[in-house]
Amino acid sequence: MLALPNDLFLSIVVIAAVVIFGALISVGNERQRKAIDKLHIAYKQWAVQDLRLKRGTVASQIQINDLQGWLTKAHNLGTWSQDNHSGYTEARRTCTYCGNAR
């Protein structure tokens, strides 16, 4: 079958329109991506600055007189090395699901 000149013209117009709209959508998406990236950078900078302000406020309020004692207490709480948490320590030693001692 031979394509009629009107059909050929119409198919070329449709293909050109699809390509043009695809290019417009791609340009719009790229512009939107750049705007989102700028917002992300601005939010990150705000969060870092806010954290600096909060740390500065809290740092002036915290005073540790016995640094080694505070560090030992923080370490013991983090590693469960003291037995002052007997309920938690006992639960940690025996697994209730399988009954194995740890």
pLDDT in tens, the chain (102 residues): 455 688 888 999 999 999 999 999 999 999 999 999 999 999 999 999 999 999 888 888 888 888 898 888 888 888 876 555 555 555 555 555 555 555
| 75 located within any domain | yes
Report how far residue 58's alpha carbon sits from residue 63's, in angstroms, rounded to the nearest whole number.
Answer: 10
For residue 73, give its domain range. Answer: 67-102
Q: Is the dihedral of CA 54, 55, 59, 60 positive or negative?
A: negative
Q: Which residue type, as a one-letter code, is found at position 28?
A: G
Per the structure, the count of domains in the chain is 1
Within a domain: residue 47?
no
The confidence score (pLDDT) of residue 38 equals 97
Tokens standing for residue 28: 């719009």
